[in-house]
Amino acid sequence: MSRIAELERKTLETEIFIRLNLDGTGIVKLDYPIGFLRHMIETFAKHGLFDIEIRACGDLCVDQHHLVEDTGIVLGQTFAKALADKKGIRRVGSCLYPMDETLVRAAVDLSGRPFLCFEGGISGIPLVSAETSGKFAPFQTDTIADFWQGFTGAAACTLHIDILRGRSDHHKIEAVFKAAARALREACEPDSRAAGSIPSTKGSLPPPVYIV
């Protein structure tokens, strides 16, 4: 069964379209104005083997927060839509991801109950692009927790992210996206022994309450 979903969300602050294939090969097609987060989404797709298409714009004249957070929200919504009733999936996944001096742990439960624990240890200092012409603005690293808060709320999942050690904020954030992608890939995978059953003793997993 095809597990593909697409959603469009328009507000006075942002406009975002996302198409997601849970059973892809990591293909990305992005029209996205924030360079660093574009790189993180490419990384997320590659390590999760998700095909992701995103077209987005927003009020970057204010700051990056609205677009980053709303991207997390819409991505979470597409995961929830693609998973549908969650029959036959593993439901839970985890990953311990090393990236040079950095080590990140991610664990996810597609439980229908939104909860985020983000122990980041990110400095909050913007990452400055090598481009000096003004074309690219520094990336606001403090928006990463907002991205994952938006994702977990919209996907109605429990997600624990712990940066266990690290020096470079770039490495920390990139390892977070890689670990989360691999944990989600495992959780979304069909379980051949589950025979299409709901992975819960309740007999159902609550659907998300969509964020507007």
Say whether pLDDT at 132 is over 50: no
Report which DSSP code applies to 72. Answer: H
The pTM of this model reads: 0.93
pLDDT digits (tens, 9 = 90+) for 149-195: 999 999 999 999 999 999 999 999 999 999 999 999 999 999 888 87
- String of DSSP letters for 17-69: EEEEETTS-S-EEEE-S-HHHHHHHHHHHHHHT-EEEEEEEE-TTT-SHHHHH
Alpha-carbon span 145 to 138, nearest angstrom: 17
Is the CB of residue 157 less than 8 Å from the CB of residue 92? no
Is the CB of residue 87 less than 8 Å from the CB of residue 17? no
Candidates 102, 101, 94; CA nearest to 161 is: 94
Query: Which residue has better confidence, 207 or 125?
Result: 125
Alpha-carbon span 6 to 13, nearest angstrom: 20
Domain boundaries, given as residue ranges, for the chain = 4-188
CATH architecture of the domain covering 4-188:
2-Layer Sandwich (3.30)
Question: What average pLDDT is seen over the chain?
Answer: 92
What was the pLDDT predicted at 120? 82
What was the pLDDT predicted at 137? 78
Alpha-carbon span 98 to 163, nearest angstrom: 10
